[in-house]
Chain A
Amino acid sequence: AQDVPPYTEDCRSGTYPPSGPTFKGKVQWYTVNLDQPPYERWQKLISDKKAPLNELIQHIKNLAKAIFPNLIDIVDNKLPFLIGKLPSPFGEEMKGVADAAGLPLGEIMLFNIFYEVFSV
Chain B
Amino acid sequence: CTSVVAQDTSGKLFHARNLDFGLFLGWDVKNNSWIVSELLKPLVVNVNFQRNNKTAFMSTSFAGYIGMLTGMKPGVLTLTMNERFSLDGGYIGILEWILGKRHGVWMGFLTRSVLENATSYDEAKDLLSKTEMLAPAYFILGGNKPGQACVITRSRTSSINFWELDTQKGEWYVLETNYDHWKPPLVIDNRRDPAMKCMKTKGQKSISFTTIYDVLSTKPVLNKLTTYTAMMSISENKFEAYLRDCPHPCMPW
Contact = CB atoms under 8 A, between A and B. Distances in A.
Contact of B39 (A42, A55, A113, A115): A55
Task: With a 10 A CB-CB cut-off, give which of B40, B67, B90, B246 has the most chain A CB atoms.
Answer: B90
Nearest to B87: A120
Given A32-B49, A46-B64, A7 B245 contact: no
B213 A116 contact: no
B25 interface: yes
Contact of B242 (A6, A8, A25, A117): A25
B108 A34 contact: no
Interface stretch (B6-14, B122-130, B134-142, B161-169): B134-142
A120 B66 contact: no
A53 B43 contact: yes
Given A8-B220, A115-B90, A49 B245 contact: no
Contacts of A101: 64
Contacts of B190: 2-3
Contact of B64 (A6, A28, A33, A97): A97
B108 A32 contact: no
B189 A2 contact: yes
Contacts of B35: 59
Contact of B213 (A9, A18, A30, A53): A18
A49 B45 contact: yes
Contacts of B217: 12, 15, 22
Interface in B34-82: 35-36, 39-52, 56, 60, 63-67, 69
A87 B137 CA distance: 21
A35 B55 CA distance: 12
Contacts of B242: 18, 23-27
A35 B202 CA distance: 43
6 contacts: A3-B190, A30-B46, A32-B49, A90-B66, A116-B106, A119-B135
> 5 tightest A-B contacts by CB?
A116-B90, A49-B63, A11-B198, A120-B89, A24-B243
Interface of A: 1-3, 6-16, 18, 21-35, 42, 45-46, 48-49, 52-53, 55-57, 59-60, 63, 82, 85-87, 90, 93-94, 97, 101, 108, 111-120
Given A2-B220, A90-B109, A97-B66, 19 more contacts: A11-B214, A18-B213, A23-B242, A23-B243, A23-B244, A26-B243, A27-B46, A27-B60, A29-B48, A34-B50, A49-B42, A52-B39, A52-B42, A60-B36, A90-B106, A97-B64, A112-B67, A114-B65, A116-B107
